[in-house]
Every structure is written in structure tokens, then in C-alpha cells.
Amino acid sequence: MEARSRMKHARSLSVLVLAAVIAGVWVSRAEPEPAQTASVFFAPSGKDRRIHKALEELLGEATKTVDIAMYQFTSPQLGDLVKKTARKAKVRLLIDSDQVKGSYSQDKGMRAKDNIEVRYVRLPGEGAEREKFHNKFCVVDGQVVATGSFNWTVLADEKNYENLLVLRDAKIAQEYAAEFDRVWNDDKVTSK
């Protein structure tokens, strides 16, 4: 009798375990797949300009704000993209003041009347000893950040060994946004 009771209990337990497994599989299939939170891109990519394309896609998603912190910004294609993005979202650009002296810098022609504000970062020191605003990141709608070694130049995509990491993580994006705002609002190092 005791053996029958144990077998009956074991069968009941087996049925419960099987039911739990089936329910777990059903629940896990019912939940949506999590969105990819990170994408990485490497250069050089030659005339394919894979990083340019990734930035074009990212800025195409912007609806409210785009904050760009950049050391060098000489790509005409990305300059045009920023101007196009400014038709639907407010754009702010922080750029190293020494890097805009050449005729290729894309800050020229970007103005507040076009929904683009530009501030120049001038850090202490002179010549080779001058500190550099060496950041390279972009925050879109306070939700997504693109960062890495990539300066927004054609050569950086076509010939240099560079990287761009796109993080779809609001918490991380907010940390970058806070750093952008800290520098943007520091009148000791920024000017219009």
C-alpha cells in the first residue's frame, strides 16, 4: 500500500513538473524578444561608409533632440544629414575650437535659425600642451547614444581603423546627456 501511495505521489509530482515546464515554455515564447541594445560598427569600410550609414539611420530616428560632441567634424555627408535632422529635431553641436579652423569643418553654416546651436570648446593650454575636447558621441532623443573612436570625417570611415558603438539604453544615454549639458553650460570653456 505504501509503495502504491509513493507511485501515485511520484506520478502527481511528474505531472506537476511537466505542466510547469510546458507553462514556462509557453510564457517564454509569449514574451517579445528583447530589442537589441547595442550595435558595433568598424572602419575602414572604404566607399561603403558603413559608419556613415549607421549614423544616417540613427539620426533618421530622431524626433526631439540630437546632441553631438565631436573633436573633428568634416564629413559633408554627415553635415548635410545634421542639417536635414534639424528640420525635425533640435540639434546642438559641441566641437573643439582648434579643429574648426580648416575650411572643411561642418560647423560653418549651422546656425540657430536652422534649429542648430553650435558651441566651441576651448580648453586650457597652448600648442601641443593644449587640452583637447576629444569626445566623440551623439545622444538622440535622450534615449540612444553613439560613441567610439570615430570622428565625423570621411577618412575615419573610408581609411582609418575606427569604431562606433550604438547603445540603445536610456540610462547610459542620460549619463552622456548630462556630460554634454555640463560642458554646454560651462562658460569657462565654451563659446558661441
Tens-digit pLDDT profile for residues 76-95: 999 999 999 999 999 999 99
Same domain, 50 and 4: no
Same domain, 42 and 14: no
CATH classification of the domain holding 90: 3.30.870.10
Catalytic residues: 134, 136, 141
Same domain, 13 and 85: no
Same domain, 115 and 47: yes
Tens-digit pLDDT profile for residues 114-172: 899 999 999 999 888 899 999 999 999 999 999 999 999 999 999 999 999 999 999 99
Q: What residue numbers bound the domain in which 22 lies?
A: 1-31
Triad 178, 179, 184: Cα angle to 5°: 95
What pTM, to 2 d.p., does this model score? 0.80
> Which CA distances in Å does 180 have to 21, 52, 133?
48, 22, 12
Same domain, 62 and 157: yes
Query: What are the grid coordinates assigned to 79, written together?
Result: 553635415
Displacement of CA 170 from its chain's centroid (Å): 10
